[in-house]
Amino acid sequence: MPQNAASPTAIDLLAAGLAEHRAGDHAAAERQYRAALDLAPLLPQALHLLGVLLTETGRAQAACLVLRQAALLRPGDADIRLALARACAECGELPVAIALLRVVLAERPGDIGLLLGLAHLHARAGDELAALAACRDAAQAAPANPQARAALAGALAARGESEAALAEAAACLALDPRQGDAWLARGVALRALGRPAEAVAVLEHALTLVPGHPAVLLALGNARADCGHADMALALLREAAARGPAMAQTHASLSAVLAAEGFLPEAIAAADAAIACDPGFAPGWWSRAVARLLSGDLERGFADAEWRKRHPRFADDFAALTGPEWDGSPLAGRDLLVHAGQGMGDTIQFARYLPALAAAGARVTLACAGALVPLLSQIAGITVVRRAEGLPRDALWIDQMSLPHRLGTATIPHPQGYLTADPDAVAAWRARLGSGLRVGLVWAGNPAHANDAARSLPPGAAAQVLRPLLLLAGTVARLRFVPMQLGPRGGELAGAEGLAGPGGDLPDMAATAALLAALDLVITVDTATAHLAGALGVPVWVMLPYAPDWRWQLGRADSPWYASMRLFRQPVAGDWDAVLRAVAAALRVRCAARDGLAAAGMPKGAAAAPRSPVRADLPPSVAGFAGP
What are the DSSP calls for 11-50, one per residue?
Answer: HHHHHHHHHHHHHT-HHHHHHHHHHHHHH-TT-HHHHHHH
SS3 label, residue 524: strand
Which is higher by pLDDT, 14 or 504? 14
Whether 473 has a pLDDT exceeding 90, the answer reads: no
How many other C-beta atoms are found inside a 10 Å radius of the C-beta of residue 153? 32
Distance CA 137, CA 132 (A): 9
Whether 601 has a pLDDT exceeding 70, the answer reads: no
Distance CA 578, CA 590 (A): 18
Task: Note the pLDDT of residue 617.
Answer: 34
Tell me the CATH number for domain 423-620. 3.40.50.2000
Strand 521-525 vs strand 565-569: parallel, antiparallel, or unpaired? unpaired
Distance CA 463, CA 449 (A): 22
Whether 353 has a pLDDT exceeding 90, the answer reads: yes
Cβ(237)–Cβ(216) below 8 Å: no
**pLDDT tier, 602 (very low <50, low <70, confident <90, very high otherwise):** very low
Whether 142 has a pLDDT exceeding 80, the answer reads: yes
Q: Which CATH number does the domain 1-108 belong to among 1.25.40.10, 3.40.50.1100, 3.20.20.80, 3.40.50.300?
A: 1.25.40.10
Whether 1 has a pLDDT exceeding 60, the answer reads: no
Task: Note the pLDDT of residue 393.
Answer: 86
Task: Note the pLDDT of residue 450.
Answer: 79
Query: 249-263: per-residue pLDDT in tens?
Result: 999 999 999 999 999
Cβ(86)–Cβ(55) below 8 Å: yes
Query: 81-120: per-residue pLDDT in tens?
Result: 999 999 999 998 999 999 999 999 999 988 999 999 999 9
Cβ(443)–Cβ(485) below 8 Å: yes
Considering only CA atoms, which of 398, 381, 370, 412 is closest in space to residue 535?
Answer: 412
Indicate where the chain has its CATH 3.40.50.2000 domain(s). 423-620
Indicate where the chain has its CATH 1.25.40.10 domain(s). 1-108
Share of the chain above pLDDT 70, in %: 92
The mean-pLDDT minimum among 33-47, 184-198, 487-501 falls in 487-501
Considering only CA atoms, which of 41, 27, 30, 33 is closest in space to residue 13?
Answer: 33
Q: Measure CA 198 to chain center.
A: 22
**pLDDT tier, 503 (very low <50, low <70, confident <90, very high otherwise):** low
Whether 334 has a pLDDT exceeding 90, the answer reads: yes
**pLDDT tier, 281 (very low <50, low <70, confident <90, very high otherwise):** very high
**pLDDT tier, 449 (very low <50, low <70, confident <90, very high otherwise):** confident
